[in-house]
Amino acid sequence: MHRFEYFPCDRAQFVLKYISANNNQGGYHYINVKKTWTEAQQYCREKHTDLATVSDIEGLKRLINKSPAMTEAWIGLYDQTNGIRRWYWSLPGVEFSENETEWNSGEPNDRNTENCGCILKSLKWIDLSCERPEHFLCYDEKFYLIKQEKTWLEAQSYCRENHTDLPSGLDQLQGERLKNVLSSTGGKYVFIGLMRDTWRWSDGSSFSFRHWNKDFDDEENKTWEEALSYCRHHHHDLVTITNLEEQRWVQEKAKKASTPFVWLGLRFNCSLKFWFWVCREAVPHRNQSSDGQMDDCNVSGAMEAGGQHLWFQRDGGEELNFICSMSNYL
Ligand SMILES: [Ca+2]
């Protein structure tokens, strides 16, 4: 039963659960307690080994099987605050080595942040923006040149679903066979399994395994007002929910969010003290309510990405994923 209600923000703080790994047994232990990431890390280090490290897709499956009740849970992956980036190969088990690289001259030059790698016909590598859609190579014993433009993350998913992975390591990325495959690129850049990021595992292991949700990315995090404006510009509006069918549609989308909540087109009028759904015909404007009174609060409604997908009151300045409605009926 999906109740239409909201809770104050302080009840929504710790919706995440966490998993700790026992490295001796190579297993995972699902802890059904709500804590912040730092508290969870401390707990795991005291009572087990550390927060869970996931080294490959098989490990991910074991982790998920071990915690059937889980909707979302902390793992040991964290973004370093000082942001030192490090190169990785996409294929689990292949370690990146500075001594085994084939950078083109002047590369990697990191122009406007270039965290992914491409290969040229000459078999030399360049760094390139991960968001820039390019053709790409997949590998499983042989090469597959995929002439579809995808971002690096999309390319990685494609290769993992259809082959093994993006080609990784100098051993794979050399030889006449590769040269022959690349001869038909028409001079386009081709993504390979090279990426760098600032993420690290809590237990210090250097696994390159990442499994980011690609339906939402950082660029999709917006304040409520930015989200409203984005949806109105690119789609129809921020999503509204007026019946159970719409709730179900939105909660399926929300499950894929990278933030714990997703913005809905739900707004609170602070001076008149009521919630309302925004619609294009009645444009709400913060700081000015319908009777002209100043309205200095910035409170909007968001659905929790996991759990029962209840709605919560959130500060509109928070940067969250959001869901746009595509047409008039949603
Ligand atoms: Ca470059």
**Which tens digits make up the pLDDT trace of 29-44?**
888 887 888 888 898 8
CA of 150 to the centre of ligand 1 (A): 18
- 90 and 190 share one domain: yes
Q: Rounded CA gap, 91 and 156, in Å? A: 10
CA angle 45, 50, 51 (to 5 degrees): 120
Question: Number of structural domains, the chain?
Answer: 3
Q: Rounded CA gap, 7 and 297, in Å? A: 17
- The phi-psi region of residue 186 (left if phi > 0; otherwise alpha if psi is between -120 and 50; otherwise beta) is left
- Non-local (6+) Cβ contacts of 81 within 8 A are none
CA of 172 to the centre of ligand 1 (A): 21
Q: Rounded CA gap, 44 and 48, in Å? A: 5
pLDDT band at 235 (very low <50, low <70, confident <90, very high): low
Query: Is 203 within a domain?
Result: no
Q: Which tokens sit at 39?
A: 């508290």
Does the structure show a pLDDT above 70 at 219? no
Phi, psi of 157 (to 5 degrees): -60, -45
CA of 107 to the centre of ligand 1 (A): 6
pLDDT band at 179 (very low <50, low <70, confident <90, very high): very high
Q: Which of 165, 197, 229 is the last residue before a domain boundary?
A: 197
CA of 209 to the centre of ligand 1 (A): 23
- Greater confidence, 295 or 114? 114
Q: Rounded CA gap, 164 and 93, in Å? A: 13
- 108 and 159 share one domain: yes
Poorest-pLDDT segment among 34-38, 118-122, 288-292, 306-310? 288-292
pLDDT, residue 294, reads: 44
Q: Which of 52, 80, 108 is the last residue before a domain boundary?
A: 80
Q: Is the peptide bond before 108 cis (omega within 30 degrees of 0)?
A: yes
> What does the buried/exposed string (b/e) look like for 230-242 if buried means 16 or more CB atoms within 10 Å of the residue's CB?
ebeeeebbbbbbe
- 71 and 110 share one domain: no
Q: Which residue has the tokens 């659905």?
A: 303
Q: Which residue has the tokens 């085994």?
A: 100
CA of 104 to the centre of ligand 1 (A): 9
CA of 319 to the centre of ligand 1 (A): 30
Sequence length of the chain is: 330
Identify the bridge partners of residue 276 per DSSP, sorted by sequence position.
Answer: 267
CA of 185 to the centre of ligand 1 (A): 18
Q: Rounded CA gap, 138 and 149, in Å? A: 13
- 119 and 164 share one domain: yes
Does the structure show a pLDDT above 50 at 287? no
pLDDT, residue 159, reads: 95
Query: Is 169 within a domain?
Result: yes
CA of 291 to the centre of ligand 1 (A): 55
Q: What is the mean pLDDT of residues 215-232?
A: 76
CA of 191 to the centre of ligand 1 (A): 12
Does the structure show a pLDDT above 90 at 269? no
Residue 145: Cβ within 10 Å count: 17
Kindly report the CATH number assigned to the domain that includes residue 305: 3.10.100.10
- Greater confidence, 3 or 235? 235
Alpha carbons within 13 angstroms on the beta-carbon side of residue 191 total 33
Residue 72: Cβ within 10 Å count: 15
pLDDT, residue 125, reads: 97
Q: Write the pLDDT tens digit of every residue in 60-71.
A: 888 888 777 776
Q: Rounded CA gap, 223 and 20, in Å? A: 33
Q: Rounded CA gap, 267 and 228, in Å? A: 11
Query: Is 222 within a domain?
Result: yes
Q: What percent of the chain has pLDDT over 90?
A: 39
Q: Write the pLDDT tens digit of every residue in 180-198.
A: 999 988 888 999 999 998 8
Q: Rounded CA gap, 58 and 64, in Å? A: 10
Query: Is 25 within a domain?
Result: yes
Q: Which of 37, 64, 80 is the last residue before a domain boundary?
A: 80
Tell me the pairing of strands 77-79 and 199-201: antiparallel
Which residue in 194, 151, 156 sits closest to 172, CA to CA?
Answer: 194
Query: Is 131 within a domain?
Result: yes
pLDDT, residue 214, reads: 56
- What is the domain extent for residue 158? 86-197
